[in-house]
Amino acid sequence: MKARLSQRSARTRNLAPQTRNPGWTVRRAHSLQIVQSRGLAKLGWLVHGFSTRPGGESLLGGKHALNLGFTDWDEGERVAANRAKFVTALPARKTRLVTLRQIHSDVIHIAVAPVADAPKGDALATRIAGLLLGVQTADCVPILLADRRQRAVAAIHAGWRGTLSRIAVKALGRMRMEFGTRPRDVVAALGPAIGRCCYEVGPEVAQAFAAQFPGAADWFDGPFDQLAHGEEPLWLPWLTMMPPGHVPPPPRVQLDLRAANRWQLLDAGVPETQIDVSDLCTACRTDLLFSYRREGAKTGRMMAVIGVRS
């Protein structure tokens, strides 16, 4: 499926440099801007943050950028320097970063120590102090969870495949098994990601969500009901300026990944007042964030991190 980028909506086109959502703040340190959840920031025993684009050692489009992912176009030394700068700015100097080889799955790992060969998966959980769990994104939803009672944390990467397979709920379940986590004790933060305004997907995605979630229509704009049931929207060629024989593009809808993940957390028992959802769209805000959908393969990676302080 090759999804296309929709036009930006008027309501998201002119956002201020920092988030307007009262549940979020922007921390400025060492020339970096780090987005933080107020709910998680209240928990003094943990450290967390969502990185942004400005202020790093990488060069992208003639500007310095904080690329935190090892990509083909960037030098490994610059990425390592960016990661060190980000961790220092959090600040989380006494932590060790643990990451994954992300594969758009529902695989969850319990972190006990950093490893040289990062495991394949899309979520990490731990309650070991001094470990900083990190997931990389450039449009997908970064989700951070913190169990206030057991002092356990998780970092989750949720694209449409992970969202469809309920990776956030499965991470909660794994935390319950490993740490005794109860959903009512969890504080969650869904960070900057591509918004409904910009995330077009095809019929196969709409149909997959309709099959899994009875209320999925709430997360889509466009002819969702028709696509979900395999119907083509009515197309009247004589009412268009298209030449005879022209084949119209396949119908598409726009998906709100953060709304879908928020609903899943609520359905699992996380209280509504304990879920912070960022309103920053990666595709709208390429001045502040990276977006694979808008910029293509030559873009950077942001990182969402969370850890228990030593």
pLDDT band at 255 (very low <50, low <70, confident <90, very high): very high
Residue ranges of domains in the chain, CATH in brackets = 24-197+274-308 (3.60.140.10), 200-255 (no CATH)
Task: Outline where DSSP puts E strands in the chain.
Answer: 24-29, 32-37, 46-50, 54-60, 63-65, 96-98, 108-110, 123-126, 131-137, 141-147, 152-158, 186-190, 200-201, 220-221, 253-255, 275-277, 302-308
pLDDT in the model for residue 5? 45
Tokens of 120: 């394949």
Sign of CA dihedral 149, 122, 92, 95: positive
Q: Which residue has the higher pLDDT, 114 or 235?
A: 114
Closest CA to 194 of 299, 281, 303: 281
pLDDT in the model for residue 233? 54
Q: Which residue has the higher pLDDT, 235 or 149?
A: 149
Q: Which residue has the higher pLDDT, 161 or 246?
A: 161
Mean pLDDT of 245-258: 80
pLDDT band at 1 (very low <50, low <70, confident <90, very high): very low
**Does residue 24 carry a pLDDT above 90?**
yes
Share of the chain above pLDDT 70, in %: 87
Cα distances (angstroms) measured from residue 242 to each of 5, 248, 249, 250: 22, 9, 12, 15
pLDDT in the model for residue 246? 59
User: If residue 178 lies in a helix (H) or strand (E), which one and from where to where?
Assistant: helix 167-179
Q: Average pLDDT over the chain, rounded to whole?
A: 90
Mean pLDDT of 8-25: 52
Mean pLDDT of 171-187: 99
**β-sheet bridge partners, residue 50:** 35, 304
C-alpha 232/C-alpha 279 separation (Å) is 32
- Range scoring the smallest mean pLDDT among 5-19, 48-62, 175-189, 259-273: 5-19
